[in-house]
Amino acid sequence: MNKHKSVLLNEVLNEIVIQDDNPVFVVDSTLGSGGHSKAILEKVKNLHLFCFDIDQVAINRFLIYLKESNFTQQNDYLWEKDKQKIYVFNNNFTDVYTKLQELNIKKVKYLLADLGWAEDQKEYIQGLSFERLEDFLDMRLDKTHNQVTAFQIINYGSLKKLKQFFIEYGDLHREGDKLNQFIKLLGQKRLESNIKTVADLVNIIKVLNFRFKADQVSFCARVFQTLRIAVNMELENLRVLLNFLPSILLEIGSKAMIITFHSGEQKIIQQFKNSLLNKKTQLFTFHELIRPSVDELRNNISSRSAQLNVIERIK
């Protein structure tokens, strides 16, 4: 199994400031492999940590970690050790506000959202990696509530809408000719038979005759990125998360730390920023984007497109 390396870990920890012995309330809205949360547990000894992930496998692995770290389970979601309380929820980050309200938590100091996918998820979520050719085109992180698969989108979605998705979610606007050819080939293939597996989709891309292998790999990665985002409604969910930030980051100095990986996510954050600028009272400031260090890039090539957005309450 590929071991996932949490990106911009030190940079996230640097944003968490401990000023006194009062408990610090932190939300990790995208638990994933748990790397950020484990590091926060090491740093903050008086802590209320709220962990969310829709991936049950990720949740189960983190619960094993808590047991091995001698945390005691108090109920279905709460674990405790010394001055640390860990709340673990198998929910999408769009449910953060609702869950906090249910727990009567009025405000938090820090909220983290790492919008990337863990490397090990590619090994058990079918269709997520274009290298696993035998996989069915599924890509659902949440199979319990989400009935829409990549198979359905690629086979039954309108070609016009698919092209729009590839431009907006996959940054393929610069590949105009290749994208047009790809959409045409998709239409032809759908008339012949369903596109069922990763191999079926990859073989269509190979017909495009890229000059360099790297260009083919890049195009393929963006096609799969597009479908993953569409299946899991990632951009729509990000909008929900941003919209409830003013309701939970109530204290001056409280921060949201959002790690993005592509222009679609950054565009939504910019739209959120613009919406706040249009209001009379400026509640938040947006720090300069933080990118991986040279050392991190050397040790984790997956971090190359990561950017840390820090949104801080100032009023």
Mean pLDDT over residues 203-215, rounded? 93
Domain residue spans of the chain:
9-114+235-313, 123-232
Note the CATH number of domain 9-114+235-313.
3.40.50.150
Q: What is the pLDDT of residue 15?
A: 98
Checking if the pLDDT of 14 tops 60, the result is yes
For the chain, the distance separating the N- and C-terminal CA atoms, rounded to the nearest angstrom, is 46
Mean pLDDT over residues 95-99, rounded? 98
pLDDT band at 2 (very low <50, low <70, confident <90, very high): low
Q: Look up the pTM and report it.
A: 0.93
Model pLDDT for residues 135-146, shown as the tens digit of each residue: 999 999 988 888
- Could you name the CATH architecture of 123-232? Orthogonal Bundle (1.10)
Percentage of the chain exceeding pLDDT 70: 99
